Structure 1
Amino acid sequence: MREIVLINITGEDRPGLTAAITGVLAQGGVNILDIGQAVIHDTLSFGILVEIPHTEQASSVLKDVLFTAYKLDQQVRFTPVSEDDYQQWVGGQGKTRYIVTLLTRKVTAEQLQRVSSITAQYGLNIDHIDRLSGRMPLDTPADQGKGCIEFSVRGEPSDPAALRADFLSVAQELNVDIAFQRDSVYRRNRRLAVFDMDSTLIEAEVIDELAKAAGVGDRVSDITERAMRGEIDFRASFTERLALLKGLPESALEQIGASLRLTEGAELLFAELKRLGYKTAILSGGFSYFAKQLQVRLGIDYVFANELQIEDGLLTGVAVEPIVDAQRKADLLRQLAEQEGLRLEQTIAVGDGANDLPMLGLAGLGVAFRAKPLVKQSAKQAISTLGLDGILYLLGFRDREGTE
């Protein structure tokens, strides 16, 4: 007759502990059914689910484990597990798994309580909790912190739409981001990332900056806002705004290009994506003059943006066809994925405006970055609290895995 026992060991972490405990189990001919270990602030929590082939061996094996743990200054708890309970546990391994990712400047107990309560409310069980962000000094300025906690959950949500709505509501209330995505083989195997440019890779809408130089800033800015909110068609708004720039000297482009600032986290994100073997692209309704500057600066592989028509050193107020609008962005994403031999599930798309929604919906991971409310509600995922490098956390990337 066999026995199944869950062994829990806690205490100060020290080298050789795992080898010592498993060595005792090895001498008893024990089979390992499950094992897990975590260390928090040098305190160990170690669990082993074992099958002891013969009942008469159990007492001797467990006594040896207890003695070895005592010598290592560890506490031990033994919990018998019935075969029925074990078989029920085995039967649950086929259940769907999801990843819930909490992103914030500073992790608080309230944030974790609200996220864990929502997962429980919709029938999801938390299997693992991991900190992906690095260790933060206590005196880190509030606007410079980076916190990310990843929950691995099991089950099928009773109402996926309501679950997402609750996560979005909590995210807005507590000024955090909460991502919810299926845990699949593609999550850590994506290989193409495409980005909008204006207000995504750079902290400006270039057409608004050009409009200021042309003396029509307020008129163009108002149209831009309405377009980004999805109140008016992008192509129509683009044509209207561009016409107002007619006669602007070409020299203004250089001045504006020199003043553009990268979005927080952009350089780190692209450095890591390149190191991980990703192909990257700009798919922008903005202008290629500025996109090509970013291409050089960030090492981007592809650029698709609108070409300004210039005659006699002056902008004509029109762009060279084809215009990169919402549909073309989605088409280009599909085209690039096919060109690179990738499935769409292996792609990432990032943008902030309504004209980005088709490509965000098409990509395996679509991220609305510091986006307007309509876009945040419609996109699969959203990041507003951290910089662009927060996207790495959605891939399961840990800060300690970085180049620094």
Structure 2
Amino acid sequence: MKDQNVASSLLVITLSGSRENNWLVDFLWVVHKYELCLNDIEQFVAGEICTTTIVTEFSEDKSSLIVKDILLFGHENNVEVDFEVVKAKQTENVSSNSNDSYAITFSKGDRVPVGFFAELTGVLATHKVNLDFAERLSESSDPLACYELVAKLNTQKSIDTVEPNSSDSFDSLSSIRSQILTLGKKYSVDTAIQRSDLLHRTKRLVAFDLSWTLISNDALNIVIEAAVALSEQSVATSLHARLSELQRLHKDGTLLGDEYYLKRAQLLRGFSASIIMQKIDDLLCFTEGALSLCRALSKLGYKTAILSSGPHFLVEHVKRKLGMDFAYGNIFETDDMGCLTGEISHPIVNANRKADLLQMLTMQERIGLDQVIAVGDGPVSSEMLSLAGMAISVDQPDATDMEVGAHLCGKSLMTVLYLLGIRGRDALEMSQESFHS
């Protein structure tokens, strides 16, 4: 048996030609007679050009014959051929703990600016990160242009740019993630960085916030606006003025958290939830891609959940509309006549409660938190995002700067499918199929 630690010569062959021709099959039969062993192969298509790189062990006693046949094949088949002979390095036992593969995914609604890609590769170069491969996940006809890079990242503390034991030393992965997400915001490009391993492709639960995530507004404010629309002019004017005042106090920082929520809930005292819901659909605006994403996730067998501080009757309504599996929101109490009292049953669904609900769901579904994708943003979603194996923040008025794995600038939730490694054509096909609610 051949010793794999002994250095040997390798032949690296790169061929480029029209994707319409079956020249690769013919080429492999040309070199087959030399009994070469395939060490590696990679192929990608850009436009109408197909490029294939093949790495094989090189038999030096037949080198002139192999090279001659390769060049002749390229000439006769209108295929551009390049080759290089390299000495294979001796293999070493390298621990995989310090160098892990990470997938860097980025997308934009029209085209990704070259400037973004230039700065992204500059960040990786600064941290001495080499790319393993790059590919386009979307099709040319897709509404989103999406790409993925896979690179080996040194997840230990960087010592290349700082003095040993210096207080300026930093975690390389954290720094790279921060810089990439900052670039995404600068160029309005959806960006994500996550470990490229089995769990990257085997998520089981996707948990969403409701406000500014599945819908393009604050959930409680929508219900209040519905109440305003159903009221007489004088009552509507008063309600709107009181809501505006509460929002001003919240913006000033004098009315925050549960207190801000409970004050707004009291504005609904005396209104019938069932009557309010008759007006909701006129005000409800789903985020771009929400319906298509939920259809596709359902088709793929993922469980989906809404974890929201919004009124439970609105959360349940959205769950039915999108065909989701679980929905949790604040329980608004009613009197004997079915009218809202302005009070909320405890425990209130806030940041802590959302985190508890997410952990409860994982136990119920018998999965780990690393198999969860959480999508949302703002203070009420922060703890839920911090627990999930993949955290995706969405641009919105109260967005936080917490460290996450992905950030959506374009607001199309269909990007989530690409983060799961699903290609554009498949994503589109699944999202267009109907589901049964």
TM-score, normalised by the number of residues in structure 2: 0.82
Which residue identity does 1:29 align to in structure 2?
E
State the alpha-carbon separation in 2 of the partners of residues 92 and 19 from structure 1.
Answer: 38
The residue aligned with 2:404 is 379
Counterparts in 2 of 1:188 and 1:155: CA distance versus 1, 3 Å: same
Q: Give distance in 1, aligned partners of 2:272 and 2:139.
A: 47
Which deviates the most, 326-335 or 60-69? 60-69
CA drift at 1:6 = 0.7
Check whether the contact 1:368–1:376 (CA below 8 A) recurs between aligned residues: no
The correspondence of residues 30-49 of structure 1 with structure 2, limited to 5 A, is 30-49=36-55
SS at match of 2:154: coil
Select which of 100, 105, 127 maps to 1:101.
105
Q: Match of 1:348, SS?
A: strand
Q: Which residue of 1 aligns with 2:263?
A: 240
Which stretch has the larger CA shift, 1-10 or 340-349? 1-10
Cα distance in 2, alignment partners of residues 228 and 9 from structure 1: 60
Q: Given the alignment, which residue of 168, 183, 190 partners 1:177?
A: 190
Q: Distance in 1 between matches of 2:412 and 2:83?
A: 46
Q: Do 1:103 and 1:386's aligned partners in 2 also have CA atoms closer than 8 Å?
A: no
For each residue in 1:232-263, what CA deviation from the matched residue of structure 2 results, as whole angstroms up to 9, or x when unmatched? 65322222221232223432232124431211
Q: Which residue of 2 aligns with 1:141?
A: none
Residues 92-171 of structure 1 mapped to structure 2, 5 A cutoff: 95-105=99-109, 106-136=111-141, 145-156=143-154, 158=158, 159-171=172-184
| CA pair 83-147 structure 1, distance change in 2 beyond 3 A | closer
Name the SS for the 1:155 alignment partner: strand
Alignment of 1:356 onto 2:360: no
CA contact (8 A) 2:113 2:187 kept: no
Provide the aligned C-alpha RMSD in A. Answer: 2.7
Equivalent-residue separation in structure 1 for 2:131 and 2:250 (angstroms): 40
Q: Aligned match of 1:341 in 357, 362, 366?
A: 366
Unaligned ranges ≥5, structure 2: 1-6, 159-171, 229-235, 433-437
Q: Is the 8 A contact 2:184 2:409 kept in 1?
A: no
How many residues of Structure 1 are paired with residues of Structure 2 in the alignment?
394
Per the alignment, in what secondary structure is the counterpart of residue 24 of structure 1? helix
Contact 2:201–2:420 (Cα < 8 Å) also in 1: yes
Kept after mapping to 2: 8 A contact 1:229/1:372: no
Percent of residue pairs bearing the same amino acid type: 28
Counterparts of 1:103 and 1:173 in 2: how far apart (Å)? 13
Give the 3-state SS of the residue equivalent to 1:194 in structure 2. Answer: strand
Matched, 1:284 2:308: yes
Q: Give the whole-Å Cα distance in 2 for the aligned partners of 1:249 and 1:62.
A: 83
Q: Answer whether contact 2:189 2:410 (CA < 8 A) is retained.
A: yes
Task: Report the counterpart of residue 208 of structure 2 in structure 1.
Answer: 195
8 Å contact kept, 2:112–2:189: no
Amino acid in the other structure paired with 1:169: T
**Structure 1 residue aligned with 2:63, among 16, 37, 58?**
58
Residues 234 and 326, structure 1, Cα contact 8 Å, conserved in 2: no
Moved more, 175-184 or 343-352: 175-184
Change (3 A) 1:12 1:27: same
Query: 1:116 & 1:358 partners in 2: Cα distance?
Result: 31
In the alignment, which residue of structure 2 is the partner of 1:262?
286
Unaligned runs of at least 5 residues, structure 1: 138-144
Task: Report the TM-score, using the length of structure 1 for normalisation.
Answer: 0.89
Structure 1 CA distance, aligned partners of 2:379 and 2:252?
6
* Cα pair distance change 1:241/1:116, threshold 3 Å: same
Equivalent residue letter for 2:56: V
Change (3 A) 1:104 1:2: closer
Q: Do the aligned partners of residues 2 and 180 (structure 1) sit closer, same or farther apart at CA in structure 2, a change above 3 Å counting?
A: closer
Structure 1 pair 26–93 and aligned structure 2 pair: CA distance change class (3 A): farther
Indicate the larger mover: 36-45 or 311-320: 311-320
Shift of 1:42: 1.3
1:306: Cα distance to partner? 1.4
How far has the Cα of 1:272 moved from its partner?
0.9
Whole-angstrom CA distance in 1 between matches of 2:87 and 2:340: 78
